[in-house]
Amino acid sequence: MTFAEFIAICFWPLVVLFGLLLARTRDPVLLRWFLTAALVTGFSYFGLWFLYPQSSIIAVLDFYVFGVLLGIAFVGFGFRRLQFKKPFDLKGNLKAAGVVLFGTAFIWLFTTTVYRDLFQERLVLEGRAQNPRTQAHYRGVDYVVDIAGRTVKMTTPVRDRLQSGSYVRAEIGRGSNYIYRIEYFTN
C-alpha cells in the first residue's frame, strides 16, 4: 500500500469521525477546535486531490462516491425548495425541480460507475502496452494507454512503472475504465 492509497482510504472514516464530533460536541470552545481541525483536514484532502487526482485507484473511487453524495445533496436541496402553498410560485418550483433532476443525474452517473467497477466482472486485457500518453479532461489530465487495441485509463503509480511495449495483463473496471490490477510479463 502506498502513502497515497493510505491517505485516500482515510478520507471517508475521517469525514464520519468529524461529522460525529461536530454533531455531538456541546462545548463551544471544543466545537471551535473540532471545526478548525475538520476544515484544515478537508481543505488538505481536497488540495491533495486537486493536485494529484489519479494518485491511486482508491482516490478515483473516492471521487465517484463524493459525486454520489453531492447528487444526494442536490436532490435534498431541491426538494426543500419545492413549495405547494397557495401562492404557487411556478418559477421557484421549476428551479427546484431542475436542481432535483440535476442531482438525480449526478446520482445515476456516479452510482452506475461505482456499481460497474465494484460489482460487475472486470474486463481482462492481455497484450502490449502501447502509446502511453496524457489526455486533457474536465478534471485536468488523464493518463491513458492502449492495451490490446483498447484505450484505458491508469493511475499515477501504474503510469510510473509502465513502459511502452511491455507485455501486460490488466483488469479494467467497466464503469470508470481504470486499470485496477496489472501484471507485467517478460518481453
pLDDT tens digit sequence for 107-143: 999 999 999 999 999 999 999 999 999 887 766 778 9
Tell me, yes or no, whether 22 and 95 share the same domain.
yes
* 8 and 61 together in one domain: yes
The pLDDT of residue 103: 96
Question: pLDDT digit string (tens) for 117-127?
Answer: 999 999 999 99
Number of folded domains that form the chain: 2
pLDDT digits (tens, 9 = 90+) for 54-65: 888 988 899 899
Shared domain check, 86 and 34: yes
Predicted local distance difference test score (pLDDT) of residue 187? 61
The domain that holds 178 is classified in CATH as: 2.40.50.140
Return the DSSP state at 178: B
Domain endpoint, select from 62, 84, 119: 119
Do 106 and 150 lie in one domain? The reply is no
Across 1-10, average pLDDT: 82
**Which pLDDT value is given to residue 53?**
78
Are residue 95 and residue 145 in the same domain, yes or no? no
Query: What is the four-CA torsion angle of 184, 134, 160, 47, rounded to 10 degrees?
Result: -130
For residues 114-125, one letter each, b for 16 or more C-beta atoms within 10 angstroms of the residue's C-beta and e for the rest, the string is bebbeeeebeeb
- Diameter over CA atoms, the chain: 74
Domain span at 57: 3-119
Final residue before a domain boundary, out of 70, 89, 119: 119
146 in the same domain as 83: no
| pLDDT > 70: percent of the chain | 98
Mean pLDDT of 171-182: 94
Selection from 122, 113, 129 nearest residue 173 by Cα: 122
Average pLDDT, the chain: 89
> Residue range 100-112: average pLDDT?
96
Give the end of a domain, one of 81, 98, 119: 119
Whether 178 and 109 share a structural domain: no
Question: How far is 31 from 34, CA to CA, in rounded Å?
Answer: 5
Looking from the CA of 10 toward its CB, the CA atoms found within 13 Å total 12
Residues 109 and 161 in one domain: no
The predicted structure's pLDDT at residue 85:
73
Mapped onto helix, strand or coil, the DSSP state of residue 55 is coil
